[in-house]
Amino acid sequence: MWKKWQGFWLVLPSIVLVLVFVYGLIAQTFATSMAPLTRRTFAGNEQVVSPGGFDNYAQLLADERYQRALWNLLVLTIVFVGGTMLFGMLWALLLEKGVTAEGFFRSVYLFPMAVSFIASGTVWKWLLSPGIGDHEAIGLNRLFIMFGLPELQSRWWSDPGPFNMAAMAMPAVWQLAGYVMALFLAGFRGISEDQREAARVDGASEWRIYRHVLFPQLSPIALSALIIIGHMSMKTFDLIYAIAGQNNYVADVPATLMWVQLFSQRNAPVAAANATILLLIVALVVIPYLIYTNRTEKGGR
């Protein structure tokens, strides 16, 4: 009996830490999200601003700024995920058969991953400066003027229109497309050359080999990449903070708005409700994925 549980004791410290600091604190956050909001009045009395419970959630969902943040998150995620998948796959296809200086290209495409979002965000803030016209434009807008394409100038993420967050996805794609490339490249290299050879002998064209032999085998990797990038997109915080500043209506996503709610609006219950909903959205994507990989792994053994 003791033997059977030996391993448990070695992992126990980590189990306790994860239970307390992951699951315990999540429960605590949920409790905060149900708490009433009180403020001390000038006379020194406690005044209940909102009664708590699911009212906090109702208040949050009714907030126009939160609705805009959700929309922004959707735009950001679609462009972020789409962009990284597109460029990641394209670069992997360009590299997968082996080219001169392959190692160099791989390293260049992947290097942005080693840099913090704060550092890259600082540079992209400059590149995506909203200033327009010869006296103000720096960054990409200046580049457009230099190349004689001034009509391409844009206010980027600070545009008040509904699709401004597509610009915010540019630095994110820059940072993570190389990662998706690395995943796909590993996938291509994991498929034995014999399979292509066999298909070629059978008279299949290169296109048909990709379509019917290679791509189907990459779909688990594509799913992984989709989940990883998708959940990263939902957690995007540093990049927006670095580029748009800490309190910027047009560039809000739930993760950044939570900071504003907590510190500028001093409304911890609503901030906690926001965090809880964010967690639910991420969990909705990640938990089925974890179960799926767990199952396929067991089946493969």
Least CB distance to another protein at residue 43 (A): 27
CA-closest candidate to residue 37, choices 12, 67, 59, 70: 59
Q: State how far the Cα of 3 lies from the Cα of 122, in Å rounded to an integer.
A: 54
Cβ proximity to another protein, 162 vs 223, nearer residue: 223
**What's the closest the beta carbon of residue 42 comes to another protein, in angstroms?**
25
Q: What is the DSSP string of 145-159?
A: HHTT-GGG---GGG-
DSSP state of 114: G
Nearer to another protein, 6 or 45 (CB): 6
DSSP letter assigned to residue 37 = E
Q: Could you tell me what percentage of the chain is helix, strand and coil, using 3-state DSSP and rounding each to the nearest 5?
A: 75, 5, 20
25 vs 198, beta carbon nearer another protein: 25
Q: How far is the CB of 298 from another protein (least distance, A)?
A: 9
The CB-of-105 to another protein minimum distance in angstroms stands at: 5
Please, which residue, 162 or 186, has the CB nearer to another protein? 186
- Write the DSSP assignment of 265-283 as a string of letters: S--HHHHHHHHHHHHHHHH
Cβ of residue 198: shortest distance to another protein, in angstroms?
15
Nearer Cβ to another protein (146/162): 146
